[in-house]
Amino acid sequence: MTKTREKIHRFSPTKLALGAGLGLLAALLLATPSLADIAPPHQPPGSNLVPGEEATRVRMLAETVLIEVLADAPADSLGQARVSADFTMRNLGSQDETMAVRFPIAFSDGFSNYPEIENIEIRVNGARLVFRRIDEPEFYYEDEQVPWAEFEVSFPAGKDVSIQVSYDLEGTGEYPFVAFYYLLQTGAGWQDSIGSGEIIVRLPYAADPQNVILDEQIGWSQTTTGAVFSGSEIHWRFTDLEPSDQDNFEVSLVMPQAWKQVLVEREKVATDPQDGEAWGRLGKAYKAIWPYRKGFREDAGGIELYQLSVAAYEQALSLLPEDALWHAGFADLLSTHAYWAGYAQDTTEETVRALGEIRLALLLAPNDPKVLEIAEAIYFMFPDGMTLSDEGYDFPWLTATPPQPTAASTLTPQPTETEPAPTPSPQPTEAAAPSEAAEPDAQTGQPPLCGAALLPLILSAVFISRRKPREA
């Protein structure tokens, strides 16, 4: 779980009045339960079988659920999976039983919609059955009638019966993360506990903690504990489970589309380690799957992704030292980490490095739209370390010694040198979260410079502990 941080808030009376008004408006808007969910709309989860209305002596002896995440999905989809749930049922009684087994196929998404599971296929002892659609109360909101699948099954006394249910499952989430769910609690109506079970999530590539988010809540999902990695699969096992809503399964993933971009760029830098553009794109691909809306991944895989992104940007800039866009992209990565990590640790060095990178990007390409976009985001995060005037941006937290252009350079005259200034601590302000602007993949055709014109970053005085938030 993302660790809780303490933060000191300083609000002006105007802000307090505005906040009270917005709070009242939010309370009115959220009065309807279906609108109270701030997460993305949930897609239908997978689900165990539900027995008929009458009491039964049939036990769910074992189940195996395979959630196979597809490599490709439609443009409007965050991710899809094909689910195959295999159940071994045993009638523990002395009398044969025949019942209408049910399976929920529509669920509330939290926004007054009831999407359905699609392409359902049901087999009993290997023979395919045709199910009928019936209207039954929705699993969570019982005052709503939604479609269920229903089919007749005979359970001979003392015999095992095999049931398999397969269907397509849509993922829930927001770029670049997606989650899949499976409800175990619907199996509570069978006799006794579920004897044994295994849930397998199969990815179209090797599974690891970088693309499977194990320990953190991503906003609408948190991966069920107990995951075991094996190649492209992640396994969870249980025995003698009497399932409740606390046992329902979740898995949080990097979207296949986003992870495939990482794999593509890894392959390119492996093929040509001197391709600075490929290294920059790899750093950008890592960066894309590292942040949340507010903050960033602090699980083991997220820490690795940040370190890998830093290393990739450094390699790109060692090969393309005069590329303004990769300097700006690197500054975006460093400043985002410094801003949010500043709640819990000293990010002085990282903040100054970010300011140096964006300053150099502005010197190299002062009119580039993407460079200016990232510069504005960093200025909003650190308004004391990066100020704005009619003449442009200034950097009081840096000792300004601009890089000198070579004979091949067409750069405009550089700013004059300024005196060192105290460097306040880069603690997060009350400003909005940094933008998620990312540098383009391609060069913009700027003439190359000879040599690596590096910007010296000299730390000045010690950081003070806190600064006032910038007024909007």
Residue 102's pLDDT band, with cuts at 50, 70 and 90, is very high
Alpha-carbon span 452 to 403, nearest angstrom: 9
Residue 325's pLDDT band, with cuts at 50, 70 and 90, is very high
Give yes or no for residue 156 having a pLDDT over 80: yes
What number of other Cβ atoms are within 10 A of residue 361's Cβ? 28
Assess contact for 98 and 231: CB atoms under 8 A.
Answer: no
Residue 282's pLDDT band, with cuts at 50, 70 and 90, is very high
Give the chain's domains with CATH numbers. 46-254 (2.60.40.3680)
| Amino acid found at 73 | A
Per-residue pLDDT at 75? 83
Arithmetic mean of pLDDT, 436-458: 38
Give yes or no for residue 416 having a pLDDT over 50: no
18-70 residue pLDDT tens: 344 434 333 333 333 333 335 688 888 999 999 987 789 999 999 999 999 99
Alpha-carbon span 389 to 84, nearest angstrom: 61
Assess contact for 443 and 316: CB atoms under 8 A.
Answer: no
Assess contact for 324 and 446: CB atoms under 8 A.
Answer: yes
| 370 token code pair | 């993407």
**Per the omega criterion (within 30 degrees of 0), is the bond before 176 cis?**
yes
Residue 140's pLDDT band, with cuts at 50, 70 and 90, is confident
Q: Cα–Cα–Cα angle for 105, 109, 110, nearest 5°?
A: 140
Alpha-carbon span 50 to 289, nearest angstrom: 38
Per-residue pLDDT at 417? 38
How far are the Cα atoms of 113, 204, 257, 287 from residue 264, in angstroms, in the given order?
37, 14, 11, 15
| pLDDT, greater one: 437 or 264 | 264
| Amino acid found at 376 | E
Alpha-carbon span 190 to 57, nearest angstrom: 7
Query: Can you tell me whether residue 132 is helix, strand or coil?
Result: strand
Helices marked H in 365-394 — which ranges?
369-381
Per-residue pLDDT at 399? 66
Assess contact for 251 and 68: CB atoms under 8 A.
Answer: no
Mean pLDDT for the chain?
Answer: 81
| 184 token code pair | 């175990």
| Amino acid found at 102 | R
Name the pTM for this structure.
0.77
Give yes or no for residue 431 having a pLDDT over 70: no
Per-residue pLDDT at 203? 98
Give yes or no for residue 175 having a pLDDT over 80: yes
Per-residue pLDDT at 132? 95
Arithmetic mean of pLDDT, 417-421: 39
Q: Residue 337: in which H helix or E strand, if any?
A: helix 324-341
In total, the chain counts a number of residues equal to 472
